[in-house]
């Protein structure tokens, strides 16, 4: 949904602020509470993921939660340089691998 002539941009909506007291749409602050995401996994991928977590747990003697692994992978995928404006080389390489996998699955 466009707001007063502005095109919808899901990446900007959470950061957009307005000084118009009549504008009731959009958010005026950045969300700080966690957002739950549900993902359907192929049974084989789920088993492999749980096996990986179990193997890491045996090696470190500390529990490895699959949800934390997914969060860590997303953090790696979206990592930026110290200035925060360019993706790291590792993030670009991982992103390329993810995109290839998505294209191959299509």
> Is residue 72 a part of any domain in this protein?
yes
- Outline where 1-106 has alpha helix (H): 43-60, 66-77, 89-105
pLDDT for 3: 46
Q: How confident is the model over 24-59, as pLDDT tens digits?
A: 556 567 888 989 999 999 999 999 999 999 999 999
Structure-model confidence comparison of residues 94 and 32, the more confident one: 94
Q: Which two tokens stand for residue 58?
A: 């045996």
Minimal CA–CA distance to 50: which of 72, 36, 69?
Answer: 69
Considering the domain boundaries, does residue 69 fall inside one?
A: yes
Asked, for residue 53, whether it belongs to a domain, the answer is yes
- For the question of whether the overall pTM of this predicted structure is more than 0.85, the answer is no
- Domain count for the chain: 1
Residue 90 in any domain: the answer is yes
Confidence band (pLDDT; 50, 70, 90) for 92? very high
The domain in which residue 75 lies consists of: 43-105
């Amino acid at each position: 949904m466009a707001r007063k002539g502005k095109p919808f941009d899901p990446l900007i909506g959470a950061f957009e602020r307005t000084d118009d007291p009549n504008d009731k749409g959009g958010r005026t602050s950045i969300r700080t509470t966690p957002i739950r995401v549900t993902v359907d996994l192929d049974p084989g991928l789920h088993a492999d993921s749980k096996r990986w977590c179990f193997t890491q747990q045996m090696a470190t003697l500390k529990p490895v939660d699959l949800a934390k692994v997914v969060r860590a992978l997303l953090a790696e995928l979206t990592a930026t340089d110290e200035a925060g404006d360019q993706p790291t080389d590792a993030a670009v390489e991982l992103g390329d691998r993810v995109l290839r996998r998505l294209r191959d699955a299509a």
